[in-house]
């Protein structure tokens, strides 16, 4: 799908991977509805990208909030062609630590944002995309979901996060099968260790150990523009569908 003149919906857009994705899509000629819980940061980071962006405060775990934002994007720009799910939280906690159990309210919050929130966007975005006129390939829309390398190789304290990100991978193929008749593609990206606000919360010892002993090459954290560049390629490459792409410098 050619990005120029498309309409994109990006969650987690106030920072990190989501913000970088907004920048790349705007540079490629898209109009973008950028959503996040942090409205102040949306205003300071996204609005300066120009008159082809709009912002809205959204809690992706709240279905009504997602629906309202998708409706606003379509109302403002006339359609929706691309959705990129970057909203997520880490929620680090051990299953059992000093006799204390992993609190179920934290488990539920991680699942609600990382998994259910992603699916809220998939549902409402695909509904909007299904109304688009198809392009020459019969394509009406593209959805990109951020998973994580933790889906396969979660670190200590990542039970909820890893479970949520593995589920994002798990739903990719069945959703792609569901949406194929509408000409809508869906791809998951599983980033390794990237320099984001989320990774900055990790102990330095843990992150450095991953860089030194897990990442093959290059020996550094990923940069948000590298993720955003892959998102752009996924949107533009019509033959990418129903798969998960690891973006992790060969981490093993």
Kindly name the residue from 124, 161, 182, 239 that is annotated as catalytic: 161
161 carries an active-site annotation: yes
Q: What Rg value do the Cα atoms of the chain yield, rounded? A: 18
Instruction: Report CA 112 to chain centroid distance, whole Å.
Output: 14
Q: Give 123-129's long-range contacts (Cβ < 8 A, gap of 24+).
A: 124/66, 124/67, 124/70, 125/9, 125/70, 125/80, 125/83, 126/83, 126/179, 126/182, 126/184, 127/70, 128/70, 128/73, 128/74, 128/79, 128/80, 129/80, 129/81, 129/83, 129/182, 129/184
Residues with a known catalytic role:
161
């Amino acid at each position: 799908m050619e990005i120029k003149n498309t309409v994109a919906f990006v969650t987690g857009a106030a920072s990190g991977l989501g913000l970088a994705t907004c920048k790349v899509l705007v540079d490629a000629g898209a109009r973008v509805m950028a959503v996040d819980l942090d409205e102040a940061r949306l205003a300071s980071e996204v609005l300066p990208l120009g008159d082809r962006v709009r912002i809205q405060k959204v809690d992706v775990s709240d279905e009504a909030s997602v629906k309202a934002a998708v409706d606003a994007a379509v109302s403002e720009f006339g359609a929706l062609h691309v959705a990129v799910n970057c909203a997520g939280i880490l929620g680090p906690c051990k299953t059992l630590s000093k006799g204390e159990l992993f609190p179920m309210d934290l488990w539920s919050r991680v699942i609600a944002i990382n998994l259910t929130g992603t699916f809220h966007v998939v549902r409402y975005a695909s509904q909007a995309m299904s109304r688009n006129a198809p392009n020459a390939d019969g394509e009406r829309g593209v959805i990109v979901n951020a998973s994580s390398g933790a889906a396969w190789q979660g670190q200590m304290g990542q039970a909820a996060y890893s479970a949520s990100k593995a589920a994002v991978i798990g739903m990719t193929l069945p959703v792609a099968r569901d949406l194929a008749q509408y000409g809508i593609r869906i791809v998951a990206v599983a980033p390794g260790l990237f320099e984001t606000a989320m990774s900055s919360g990790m102990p330095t010892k843990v992150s450095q150990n991953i860089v030194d002993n897990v990442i093959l090459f290059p020996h550094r954290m990923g940069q948000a523009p590298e993720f955003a560049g892959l998102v752009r390629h996924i949107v533009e490459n019509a033959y990418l569908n129903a798969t998960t792409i690891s973006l992790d410098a060969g981490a093993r």
